[in-house]
Chain A
Amino acid sequence: MKKRRVGMVYFEIERCKGCGFCVEFCPSGILRFSTTYNEKGYHYPVAEHPEKCTGCNNCGLYCPDYAIWGEASEDNPE
């Protein structure tokens, strides 16, 4: 049986200033820095394992720039 995705992480990369809080404090450790730059010249986060996101929104609470947030998906059995 295919495992259902429980959460989804969203990005607004042009707002990111590359502080790295989301990469450090993601409890599932699914984020990493991009190799490319955004418009302002910062490395933004990308989801390396998006299927592991739990939608806890810890990244959204830690992001000072409102550039990332997680949401539990609708088919979450919770």
Chain B
Amino acid sequence: MRVEIAGQDALIVYFGEQASAAVSAHIQRAVVEINSQMADIVVDLVPSYASLLVIYDIDQCDHFEVRKRLREALRDLDTTEAVGGELVTLPVYYSLESGPDLEIIAERGKISVDDVIEIHLAGEYRVYAIGFAPGFAYLGEVDERIAAPRLATPRQKVPRGAVAIADRQTAVYPAQSPGGWNLIGLCPTRMFDPEQQPSMPVQVGDRIRFESIERDEYLSLGGNL
């Protein structure tokens, strides 16, 4: 664990050099400890692949005190257990209709469209980070056979719920937006709903599995085509 200054009221804690399930689980436990022991001085936390940004209240403390409190809060953190996080299942309607880039990924990997779907379904993914847009969860890692680079020209409009792949990451678009990821299906679950509590079905550190659903079920769960 390495602590660096980020700004006048922020420290960044690095838990490793690479993203991994173990590092992610470690960060998730750190978030829990900091939230319970340091809520009086912590303003915001940004967990990501291998780091945790800690933004503190500069009116109440300085970076020396935050470092000391972090050392105490994280000293006895159990680093042996590799899993952790909730297991969340997200339904996906995979088809050429809902996943316009399925064929491109299949061609790249010299496999069939059904194989692409099956390989995507077989994985258990971890929420490594949330960012880019409200509710956008970066999930990793997909099997190399279905990894695909971002589109050379991003789409102007990616629909809400689009299930997508970029390199070895996968995600569900929380809202309609421009986007350069490869689209393979549609998920009817709202990934970000400001009216709901909680507003997201997942948080950083959770484990995600996808489940294949048919067109009818997708529509009956509130999905749009």
The answer on A and B forming one complex is no
Q: Which B residues are within 8 Å of any A CB, using their own CB?
A: none
